[in-house]
Amino acid sequence: MGVNSKIKNVYSCDGNLLLIIKLLVRQPCEISTSQRENIFHTRCKILEQICPLIIDSGSRSNCCSTRLVAKLGLTIIPHPKLYKLQLLNEKKDIVVNQQVKVKFSIGNYKDNVLYDIVLMEVCHTLIGRS
Strand runs labelled E in 1-130: 39-46, 49-56, 63-65, 76-85, 94-106, 109-118, 125-127
Q: Output the pTM of the full model.
A: 0.67
The answer for residues whose C-beta is within 8 angstroms of residue 100's C-beta and 6 or more apart is 64, 69, 74, 75, 76, 77, 114, 115, 117
- The total number of structural domains in the chain stands at 1
Domain boundaries, position 121: 39-127
Is residue 74 included in any domain, yes or no?
yes
pLDDT digits (tens, 9 = 90+) for 16-61: 655 544 444 444 555 554 545 577 888 899 999 998 888 887 777 8
Would you say residue 14 lies in a domain?
Answer: no
* Residue 14 CA from chain centroid, whole number: 17
Amino acid identity for residue 97 in this structure:
N
Say how many residues make up the chain: 130
- Write the pLDDT tens digit of every residue in 66-89: 999 999 999 999 999 998 876 544
3-state secondary structure of 71: helix
Q: Is residue 98 part of a domain?
A: yes
In a domain, 20, yes or no: no
- Does 12 fall in a domain? no
CATH number at residue 60: 2.40.70.10
- Assess if residue 62 is contained within a domain: yes
- Consecutive H or E run containing 67: helix 66-72
